[in-house]
Copies of this chain bind each other. A is one copy, B any other.
Amino acid sequence: MSVFTSWPPNLTTEQLDQLTVLATTYALSHSLLYLPPVSSQNAPPPAPESAIHAPISLIPAPIPRRLFSHALTLQRAYNTLYARVALDVSFLDHVMGHGGVADVDDFTSALWSAWKRLRVDGVPQPLHLGLFRSDYLLHQPTSDDPISLKQVEFNTISSSFGPLSQRVAGMHRNLPINDTTKGLAEGLAEAHRAYDDPDAYVLFVVQPNERNIFDQRLLEYQLFESHRIRVVRRTFAELGLTASISASRALIIAPVIPGLNADPVEISVVYYRSGYAPVDYASPADYATRGLLESSRAAQCPSLALQLAGTKKVQEVLTRPGMLERFLTQEEGAAALRGSWVRIWSLDADDGAGAEEAVRCAHELVLKPQREGGGNNIYRDSIPPFVEQLPPQERAAWVAMELIRPPRSIGAYLVRSGAGRVNVHVMSELGVFGWALFGEGREVKEKQAGWLVRTKAEDVNEGGVAAGFGVLDSVLLVD
């Protein structure tokens, strides 16, 4: 039983800091929560807006297996016992009533009197239900004694912490969760398996001060729980200091601080949750880092090529006659894809005709720049003056796109933490997830991986959930 004195394992401050982040994040994202304290200055909001993690132990408590098992076994006898006690009126009267505890304890007296009154009034006794909790401590009077289990008390009312306790077990043990998460993780896992080193890690390249971390962490948990694949998270700045490529072109990530992953780890898949907008690259060094990562054997999610394939410009080019058919046969669904597109053209199309057309049809158009990040689109009446002042050589950076027109006057209630609820007319955007794993001379492996609905006020031209304009939503299927 030497584990009792050698517990918990010896960890450095840095390791503990890392474990603490993992634990509190796990707790917050697995509903191991409390509402925040309420002070006289701060009344609680009408609907809860935030939560804090419940008090937790970083590392689980050692308990002898046989005693744990014994305590579980005992419970049924306890259940029966207290049921029978509660049914024994004369016993309880004797112990709790006049001449018993009721004489010396006001609270007990009040409870017993209330019960007595019901009986005097002839009210038939109800069906009882006990949700019990029997509490024990390990017991070892001296270090020479065997450890045993002793009951502290048996709770018959308000036995709490069952659900939260289940979550703590999950935190320590990583219980399974579950379809979008699973679908996306399968994609990452497929790439990981293709790398053919089960001990390699998946690298999440992330922004500093990311607020949407749960969305990322849930994928991380899924990867570990379903596939036993571990994740390391790094910003570009951190990777500039810690990423290197081996002679065999393995991507190696050194620890940022001497911590839980004290040895450098090899990376199977690089998954970018940063790097999609200029602001993500603080300096030319960050571009160099991106290149360094892609120079490795690790699968890139996405590769630079794939990121480029996802630009608005490519979206526009694909709509040109015959272009889509370069990539996809009719049997593979080319016509169906095309049927899902609105008209798109480049402002520099046809020697100026593209710009003229955009001015002429301005009222039903949006102009989109190649640049990502939102907030740069030009709508309707703003288009003609914008096009007038645009130097012709910059036209190629803009595409004109027919405005999609959602059904109008659909109401919704949008709720944002700290900003309450608004009732507005909205439009909803459906997103469908998928993944594909592919490479030169290799069959494309791919799947559909779930969906997303985001909703925003219909008079707001653009802006995403993270920017505070839209909200996450789901779908009512109507016929």
Stretch from A257-265, A355-363, A380-388, A413-421 contacting the other chain = A413-421
Assuming the contacts A34-B211, A294-B114, asked whether A431 and B310 have C-beta atoms less than 8 A apart, the reply is: no
Q: Determine whether the beta carbon of B341 is less than 8 Å from that of A151.
A: yes
Q: What CA separation (Å) do A465 and B135 show in the bound complex?
A: 14
Q: Determine whether the beta carbon of B23 is less than 8 Å from that of A313.
A: no
Q: Determine whether the beta carbon of B104 is less than 8 Å from that of A455.
A: no
Q: Determine whether the beta carbon of A211 is less than 8 Å from that of B64.
A: no
Task: Specify which chain B residues have a CB less than 8 angstroms from the CB of A477 in the assembled complex.
Answer: 63, 65, 68
Q: Determine whether the beta carbon of A132 is less than 8 Å from that of B57.
A: no
Q: Determine whether the beta carbon of A76 is less than 8 Å from that of B307.
A: no
Stretch from A226-234, A236-244, A437-445 contacting the other chain = A437-445
In-complex Cβ contact of A127 among B50, B75, B191 (8 A): B191
Interface centre among A135, A158, A303 (most CB of B within 10 A): A158
Assuming the contacts A64-B478, A103-B396, asked whether A52 and B55 have C-beta atoms less than 8 A apart, the reply is: no
Q: Determine whether the beta carbon of A306 is less than 8 Å from that of B128.
A: yes
Minimum CB–CB distance for A435 against chain B, Å: 5
Chain A binding surface SS class: mixed
Q: Determine whether the beta carbon of B332 is less than 8 Å from that of A80.
A: yes
Q: Determine whether the beta carbon of B451 is less than 8 Å from that of A83.
A: no
Q: What CA separation (Å) do A157 and B303 show in the bound complex?
A: 9
Q: Determine whether the beta carbon of A48 is less than 8 Å from that of B21.
A: yes
Interface membership of chain A positions 61-100, coded 1 if the CB is closer than 8 angstroms to chain B and 0 otherwise: 1111100100111111111111111111101100110001
Minimum CB–CB distance for A476 against chain B, Å: 4
Q: Determine whether the beta carbon of A453 is less than 8 Å from that of B333.
A: no
Minimum CB–CB distance for A426 against chain B, Å: 7
Task: Specify which chain B residues have a CB less than 8 angstroms from the CB of A272 in the assembled complex.
Answer: 157-158
Residue of B nearest to A29 (CB): B31
A349 near B: Cβ within 8 Å? no
Q: Determine whether the beta carbon of B448 is less than 8 Å from that of A75.
A: yes
Q: Determine whether the beta carbon of B126 is less than 8 Å from that of A296.
A: yes
A12 near B: Cβ within 8 Å? no
Task: Specify which chain B residues have a CB less than 8 angstroms from the CB of A460 in the assembled complex.
Answer: none
A253 near B: Cβ within 8 Å? no
Task: Specify which chain B residues have a CB less than 8 angstroms from the CB of A224 in the assembled complex.
Answer: none
Q: Determine whether the beta carbon of B450 is less than 8 Å from that of A137.
A: no
Copies of the protein in its oligomer? 2
Residue of B nearest to A465 (CB): B55
Task: Specify which chain B residues have a CB less than 8 angstroms from the CB of A128 in the assembled complex.
Answer: 299-303, 305-306, 436-439
- For residues 396 through 420 of chain A, which have their beta carbon under 8 Å from a beta carbon of chain B? 396-397, 404-407, 409-418
Residue of B nearest to A170 (CB): B474
Minimum CB–CB distance for A254 against chain B, Å: 21
Task: Specify which chain B residues have a CB less than 8 angstroms from the CB of A65 in the assembled complex.
Answer: 477-479
Q: What CA separation (Å) do A362 and B52 show in the bound complex?
A: 41
Q: What CA separation (Å) do A312 and B326 show in the bound complex?
A: 81
Q: Determine whether the beta carbon of B297 is less than 8 Å from that of A126.
A: yes
Q: Determine whether the beta carbon of A306 is less than 8 Å from that of B82.
A: yes
Q: What CA separation (Å) do A161 and B474 show in the bound complex?
A: 12
Q: What CA separation (Å) do A340 and B75 show in the bound complex?
A: 11
Q: Determine whether the beta carbon of A342 is less than 8 Å from that of B139.
A: yes
Assuming the contacts A115-B308, A342-B139, asked whether A161 and B78 have C-beta atoms less than 8 A apart, the reply is: no
Q: Determine whether the beta carbon of B214 is less than 8 Å from that of A471.
A: no
Q: Determine whether the beta carbon of A118 is less than 8 Å from that of B291.
A: yes
A183 near B: Cβ within 8 Å? yes
Q: What CA separation (Å) do A160 and B184 show in the bound complex?
A: 10
In-complex Cβ contact of A214 among B51, B87, B219, B450 (8 A): B51
Assuming the contacts A150-B404, A370-B101, asked whether A157 and B421 have C-beta atoms less than 8 A apart, the reply is: no
Q: Determine whether the beta carbon of A28 is less than 8 Å from that of B33.
A: yes
Known interface pairs A92-B314, A162-B181; 5 further A-B residue pairs with C-beta atoms within 8 A, sorted by A's residue number: A7-B411, A20-B421, A49-B52, A95-B313, A134-B434
